[in-house]
């Protein structure tokens, strides 16, 4: 039995410079060649548009070698594919940086990478070629490089210096708060989705706002069996994959009042086109089925509908979940009640969603005034 490596057909058509290669009959050597040379080259071309200069095995003791070592560790391999992809892009941004003498940063020996070198690298990576700032991306790159160094050193402490030059950089980035979507904006968005024959997107928006579920869970996990399941028709089971929490939301109050009238009315009349509640509205011609939404296309259609509804282009789909939490906070729900609805494990995590608003501050000031007035009345 022999082994070989070859790029996917789409990559060949796109001009991938990494050629097909016979790898012999030794599995261990074939895998080493793939892990240490060919796959990193292919990833470099896929993420940056060109293959790295190195064509042989990364020299032990270099940054490239350290990254390869890190990618074999469980602390990398057990991450979700989407997370690994972002880590790969961050590490490639560092390794592919071209220095003044033409060398890639990845070819540097670890012993030669001093804190000052890393500080200068960070300043270079903060700016794109056109001068646009990308501070958050640069900070992520430094953070993942620091993690890779620490993880790899546990395996090769004799070759990786104990002092991590990516550590103690004191980098700070204050992310722009997500703009919460208001109830009125939700209704406008849903109306625009329905008018564009994309009712499923309107349904997804309502689920995010009312039931506080994340986009990925809505599109890939929320099934009809979770809504009014057999044996428990009075609730909906909302799963939050990120925290592992399963929230059993009541659909009716103790007196029988419907708690989510807008959403429940929509679901009761919605066509059931498959296992998932939210699927694409148009049937796929080749498969004769309503397929799940793909994340990229869903984001594209959300942007179109948002524009049609006349909503601020800064508003993201995640703003619906933020808006639902803000609505709860303005309704004077306690932190415990909000967490019970949203599936957040801590109040600190909750506060990133239930942002402070003028209405909340006004209510707080009113309660303080009422307390003072009552106290003064008692003293008289």
Residues across the chain: 380
Give a yes or no: residue 303 inside a domain. Answer: yes
267/227 Cα distance (integer angstroms): 9
Residues 151 and 193 in one domain: no
Give a yes or no: residue 327 inside a domain. Answer: no
pLDDT at 45: 78
- The CATH number for 218's domain is 1.10.443.10
Question: 351 pLDDT exceeds 60?
Answer: no
Mean of pLDDT over the chain? 86
pLDDT in tens, 148-197: 999 999 989 888 999 999 998 888 767 678 889 999 999 999 999 999 99
pLDDT at 50: 45
Query: Which token pair is 210?
Result: 């009312």
C-alpha count within 13 angstroms, C-beta hemisphere, residue 336: 0
Domain count along the chain: 2
Residues 143 and 94 in one domain: yes
Which of 320, 337, 352 is at the close of a domain? 320
pLDDT in tens, 117-153: 999 999 999 988 888 888 889 999 999 999 999 999 9
Residues 37 and 84 in one domain: yes
239 touches 221 (CB < 8 A): yes
pLDDT in tens, 213-222: 999 999 999 9
The predicted model gives 109-114 an average pLDDT of 93
pTM, two decimal places = 0.64
Question: 305 pLDDT exceeds 90?
Answer: yes
Residues 295 and 195 in one domain: yes
Please state which of the ranges 24-38, 137-151, 278-292, 365-379 shows the lowest mean pLDDT. 365-379
Residues 225 and 139 in one domain: no
203/302 Cα distance (integer angstroms): 12
Range of the domain at 199: 183-320
Residues 198 and 144 in one domain: no
Give a yes or no: residue 294 inside a domain. Answer: yes
Where are the extended beta strands (E) located within the chain?
Answer: 3-5, 21-24, 235-240, 245-250
Give a yes or no: residue 329 inside a domain. Answer: no
270/200 Cα distance (integer angstroms): 9
pLDDT in tens, 258-276: 999 999 999 999 999 989 9
Residues 137 and 195 in one domain: no
162/268 Cα distance (integer angstroms): 61
Give the confidence band of 346 by pLDDT, cuts at 50, 70, 90. low
Which of 155, 173, 207 is at the close of a domain? 155
Residues 28 and 111 in one domain: yes
Vertex 82 angle, CA 338 and 175, to 5°: 55
Which of 278, 298, 320 is at the close of a domain? 320
Residues 105 and 222 in one domain: no
30 touches 24 (CB < 8 A): yes
pLDDT at 361: 64
301/282 Cα distance (integer angstroms): 13
218 touches 302 (CB < 8 A): no
Query: Which token pair is 188?
Result: 């406008």
Residues 95 and 203 in one domain: no
The predicted model gives 64-79 an average pLDDT of 91
Give the confidence band of 99 by pLDDT, cuts at 50, 70, 90. confident
The predicted model gives 346-350 an average pLDDT of 60
**pLDDT over 70 percentage in the chain:** 87
Residues 24 and 89 in one domain: yes
The predicted model gives 68-95 an average pLDDT of 90
Give a yes or no: residue 171 inside a domain. Answer: no
Residues 68 and 148 in one domain: yes
Vertex 70 angle, CA 164 and 162, to 5°: 25
42/231 Cα distance (integer angstroms): 52
Give a yes or no: residue 38 inside a domain. Answer: yes
C-alpha count within 13 angstroms, C-beta hemisphere, residue 206: 21
Give a yes or no: residue 334 inside a domain. Answer: no
pLDDT in tens, 12-60: 888 888 889 898 888 778 888 888 788 878 887 777 544 444 444 568 8
Q: Please list, residue by residue across 190-213, b when 16 or more beta carbons sit within 10 angstroms of its beta carbon and e when fewer do.
A: bebbeebebbbbbbbbbbbbbbbb
Give a yes or no: residue 22 inside a domain. Answer: yes
Question: 367 pLDDT exceeds 50?
Answer: yes
pLDDT in tens, 238-262: 998 888 889 898 999 989 999 999 9
The predicted model gives 103-113 an average pLDDT of 92
Question: 277 pLDDT exceeds 80?
Answer: yes
Q: How far are the Cα atoms of 87, 220, 224, 299 from residue 80, in angstroms, in the given order?
A: 11, 15, 26, 20
Helix (H) or strand (E) holding 88, with range, is helix 81-95
């Amino acid at each position: 039995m022999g082994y070989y490596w070859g790029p996917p057909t789409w990559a060949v058509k796109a001009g991938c410079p990494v050629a097909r290669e016979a790898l012999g009959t030794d599995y261990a050597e074939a895998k080493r060649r793939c892990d240490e040379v060919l796959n990193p080259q292919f990833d470099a071309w896929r993420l940056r548009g060109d293959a790295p200069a190195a064509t042989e095995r990364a020299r032990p003791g270099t940054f490239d070698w350290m990254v390869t070592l890190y990618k074999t560790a469980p602390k990398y391999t057990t991450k979700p594919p989407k997370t690994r992809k972002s880590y790969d892009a961050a590490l490639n941004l560092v390794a592919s940086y071209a220095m003044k003498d033409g060398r890639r940063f990845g070819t540097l020996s670890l012993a030669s990478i001093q804190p000052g070198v890393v500080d200068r690298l960070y300043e270079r990576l903060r700016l794109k070629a056109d001068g646009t700032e990308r501070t958050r991306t640069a900070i992520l790159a430094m953070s993942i490089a620091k993690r890779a160094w620490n993880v790899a050193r546990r395996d090769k402490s004799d070759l990786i210096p104990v002092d991590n030059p990516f550590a103690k950089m004191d980098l700070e980035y204050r992310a722009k708060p997500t703009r919460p979507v208001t109830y009125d904006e939700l209704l406008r968005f849903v109306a625009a989705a329905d008018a564009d024959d994309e009712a499923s997107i309107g349904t997804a928006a309502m689920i995010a706002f009312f039931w506080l579920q994340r986009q990925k869970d809505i599109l890939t996990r929320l099934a009809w069996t979770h809504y009014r399941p057999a044996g428990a028709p009075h609730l909906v089971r909302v799963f939050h994959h990120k925290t592992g929490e399963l929230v059993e939301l009541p659909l009716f109050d103790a007196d029988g009042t419907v708690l989510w009238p807008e959403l429940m009315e929509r679901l009761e009349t919605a066509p059931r086109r498959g296992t998932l509640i939210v699927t694409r509205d148009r049937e796929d011609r080749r498969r004769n089925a309503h397929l799940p939404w793909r994340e990229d296309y869903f984001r594209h259609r959300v942007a179109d509908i948002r524009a049609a509804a006349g909503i601020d282009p800064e508003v993201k789909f995640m703003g619906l979940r933020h808006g639902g939490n803000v609505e709860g906070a303005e309704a004077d729900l306690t932190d415990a009640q909000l967490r019970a609805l949203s599936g957040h494990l801590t109040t600190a995590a909750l506060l990133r969603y239930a942002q402070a608003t003028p209405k909340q501050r006004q209510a707080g000031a009113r309660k303080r005034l009422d307390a003072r007035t009552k106290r003064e009345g008692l003293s008289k």
